[in-house]
Amino acid sequence: MTEFYQDTPLRIADYEFSSRLLVGTGKYRDFDETGDAIAASGAEVVTFAVRRTNLGQSASEPNLLDTISPDRYTLLPNTAGCHDAKEAVRTCRLARELLDGHRLVKLEVLADDSTLYPNVVETLKAAETLVKEGFDVMVYTNDDPIVALELERLGCCAVMPLGSLIGSGHGIQNPFNLQLIIERASVPVLVDAGIGTASEAARAMELGCDAVLMNSAIAHASHPVLMASAMRRAVLAGREAFLAGRMPRRSKAEPSSPLAGRITR
């Protein structure tokens, strides 16, 4: 990480990563911007969605997987848009076929379209099936520590509570719940959803998250490539601050300069 301290890698399933920022590929203007922003973010893990092909598209039409090549990035197909366990499991099987046996997936089962809040009941069902089928499941969930631990017990390789609603940019609304999850979970904990700007990504890392996953905060910035760079630095800064250990909070001031030797008395 720096000359002062060598950070341990982020370990998810059998993978090891040096970047603790994971990014999505949605909402960019075009594939060039997608590729430039992802490169600037330093992310090694990149998530994407699985959808029906447009029939009649020409074979020369650009393909997302040319921009985020599996040779360069660890791909994380997601189940965004799925509303029950069956759809999510089907989507993961398709993704595994699409990527020639790739097992790492991001499971998200959504409850309704205005909150995109996770449907925990269906998420638990899907997680159980996917783990049995040999998938490495990184799972989007709410910030309930009991649910997070249950997902871990089912065999998920990372739990990813929301900071706030997907795409809302409201940051981390319940840091206390997040801390409860971080304290109790043995698998990596990632904030997935809600990050709006760099300080919020740093905050997630300062709280002790293992990594952060984001999409809109970068893609919907006025200058996505610059924001991607800001996020890379924020995640690093937050991680270093966490490892360094913050000073205790005090209720009264404490001078930084010694009182002895002052010329005033």
Partner 1 sequence: MQIQLNGEAHRVEKEVTVAELVEALGLAERRIAVEVNEHIVPKSSHLAMRLVEGDRIEIVHAIGGG
Q: Cα(146)–Cα(180) distance, rounded to whole angstroms?
A: 9
By annotation, the residues acting in catalysis are: 106
Give the other-Cβ count within 10 Å of 54's Cβ: 8
CB of 91 to partner 1, least distance (A): 8
Cα 73 versus chain centre, distance:
15
Q: Cα(92)–Cα(106) distance, rounded to whole angstroms?
A: 9
Nearer Cβ to partner 1, position 64 or 241? 64
CB of 248 to partner 1, least distance (A): 37
**Residue showing tokens 């996770």:** 118
C-beta separation of 156 from 130 below 8 A: no
C-beta separation of 14 from 21 below 8 A: no
**Residue showing tokens 């001078």:** 255
Binding site for partner 1 (CB under 8 A): 23-28, 34, 47-53, 55-59, 63-65, 75, 77-78, 80-81, 90, 93-98, 100, 166-167, 213-216, 219
CB of 123 to partner 1, least distance (A): 17
Give the other-Cβ count within 10 Å of 103's Cβ: 17
Nearer Cβ to partner 1, position 85 or 180? 85
CB of 254 to partner 1, least distance (A): 43
Nearer Cβ to partner 1, position 111 or 241? 111
Cα distances (Å, whole numbers) of residue 104 to 148, 166, 182, 184 = 18, 21, 22, 23
**Residue showing tokens 């791909």:** 75
